[in-house]
Amino acid sequence: MSLSAQPPASLFIDGQPVEGQGAALPVRYAYTGEVIATLHEATTDQVAAACTAARAAGPAWAALAPVERGRILGRAAAIILARNDELAWLETLDTGKPISETRVADWPSGAACLEYFAGLAATLTGQMIPLGADWAYTRREPLGVCAGIGAWNYPSQIACWKAAPALVMGNTMVFKPSEETPLGALKLAEIFIEAGMPPGVFNVVQGRGEVGAALVTNPDVAKVSLTGSVPTGRRVYAAAADGMRHVTMELGGKSPLIVFDDADLEDAVSAAILANFYSSGQICSNGTRVFLQEGIKEDFLARLAERVQAVHMGDPLDPATTHGPIISPAQAEKIRAAIRAGQAAGARLVCGGVGEGAFIPPTVFADATDDMSIATDEIFGPVLTALSFVDEAEAVLRANATGFGLAAGVFTQDLTRAHRVVAGLEAGTCWINTYNLTPVEMPFGGVKMSGLGRENSAAAIEHYSQLKSVYVGMGGVDAPY
């Protein structure tokens, strides 16, 4: 069966599908490698046209009552949920992720985010500051045109997570999805129009890194929100600094999951699976360094190896599939090189390995040391590195001995230890006795090299708004002469 997912046009500017005038961008279905759509990149002029449209749409959008903006986001969420099956199918073609995941995790999370900020819209207020006879107040104002740049692992969720807080605050957006997964953002643009959003408020451009760079440095852009790797983050942050642009950086990680010997072993194994193998391991917050307390190490590894046997690798469109292909042959090759490096360094391969073709099975290394590349580098694939530890202080010290700081997890039945350990962990997002749950109500983001700013929750509004202070003089003006 040949699959096609060709959109009406590659870009979406000022409420209209527009064909890209730049280089061709073939979209491949990761499972078969077949081309399911051919898009074209935006030229620098088209990036500029999208930014101009976003700037022009800004004042009227920002002048709406917040509740009216919220209502439009709410309608978009309802459309997404009503069409979830069809959108999940497209997300699976775009990413290769199993439909068993995309039906529950991708667009539904995007819709929840739109609903959350739709509800928050009417609560976004300033402050009144009494100063005796005089007083002051603050106005929370939008930043202007926001650039959103996405990664390929959760393309539609990322688009919604960036658009929802930006738009509800009265900003407008130009979004550039990853060149690997350009399709979902175009659907979001269409859905927004259908929900009643004015043209120009949300625009989509396509392209590789250079198109992203043109967007970041466009003079109309006031803020950049990137989801991507640390090297890209450094480049984008530096480019944004030139124009004093605000940034949100959601970057990579090598997060620790610490399992103490009093933990519920079965739950800890479940969490390690979710923390390493969901989406074939292509998740930024994955807990890929699993620290096991000596006493439970071998039981944990034996049970994990047993549980992993139940994985169902195969056709992503088959609802029974639980492990899909890697996004691209190039990425699969990088993961294979990391696995080979682990073997060459002398780590014990408990299960998995380099796999075949587009597939890499859930892979577990044990007896690794903290300095092996499988324990230091983000692999962005289904590779878990188990490390053992003796006591709490050692576990926290070693967990923190990384430049990354996106996420962390702890498994223990000891209530005080759980809270003490998370307090000591250098990570933006922590889980106790669970892993990788990212509800929209909770702030999400990293510390250290893993990023800046927070997505989701009311905290995201801080990163899409600025305060104007207004001093109100109620009496005469005293001047020295």
Ligand X SMILES: NC(=O)C1=CN([C@@H]2O[C@H](COP(=O)(O)OP(=O)(O)OC[C@H]3O[C@@H](n4cnc5c(N)ncnc54)[C@H](O)[C@@H]3O)[C@@H](O)[C@H]2O)C=CC1
**Contact residues: ligand X, CB under 6 A:** 149-153, 176, 178-179, 208-209, 212-213, 216, 227-229, 232, 235-236, 250-253, 284, 378, 380, 406, 446, 451
433 contacts 287 by C-beta, under 8 angstroms: no
Tallying the residues shown for the chain, one arrives at 481
* CB nearer to ligand X: pick between 212 and 355: 212
* CB nearer to ligand X: pick between 226 and 304: 226
Name which of 272, 302, 283 is nearest 431 in CA terms: 272
Q: How far is CA 287 from the centre of its chain?
A: 15
Name which of 238, 235, 227 is nearest 181 in CA terms: 227
Q: How far is the CB of 44 from ligand X (least distance, A)?
A: 13
* CB nearer to ligand X: pick between 31 and 152: 152
Q: Between β-strands 221-227 and 202-204, what pairing exists: parallel, antiparallel or unpaired? A: unpaired
- Order of strands, sheet of 429-432, starting from the edge strand that comes earlier in the sequence: 348-351, 363-366, 383-389, 289-293, 256-259, 407-411, 429-432
Active site residues: 250
Q: How far is the CB of 10 from ligand X (least distance, A)?
A: 14
Long-range contacts at 101-104 (CB < 8 A, ≥ 24 apart): 101/278, 101/279, 101/324
* CB nearer to ligand X: pick between 388 and 429: 429
* CB nearer to ligand X: pick between 61 and 152: 152
Residues linked to residue 453 through DSSP beta bridges, in sequence order: none
Q: How far is the CB of 102 from ligand X (least distance, A)?
A: 15
Q: How far is the CB of 318 from ligand X (least distance, A)?
A: 25
Q: How far is the CB of 193 from ligand X (least distance, A)?
A: 23
* CB nearer to ligand X: pick between 166 and 366: 166
74 contacts 116 by C-beta, under 8 angstroms: no
Name which of 32, 58, 100, 18 is nearest 359 in CA terms: 32
164 contacts 20 by C-beta, under 8 angstroms: no
Q: How far is the CB of 414 from ligand X (least distance, A)?
A: 30
Under 8 Å CB-to-CB from 231, ≥6 apart: which residues? none
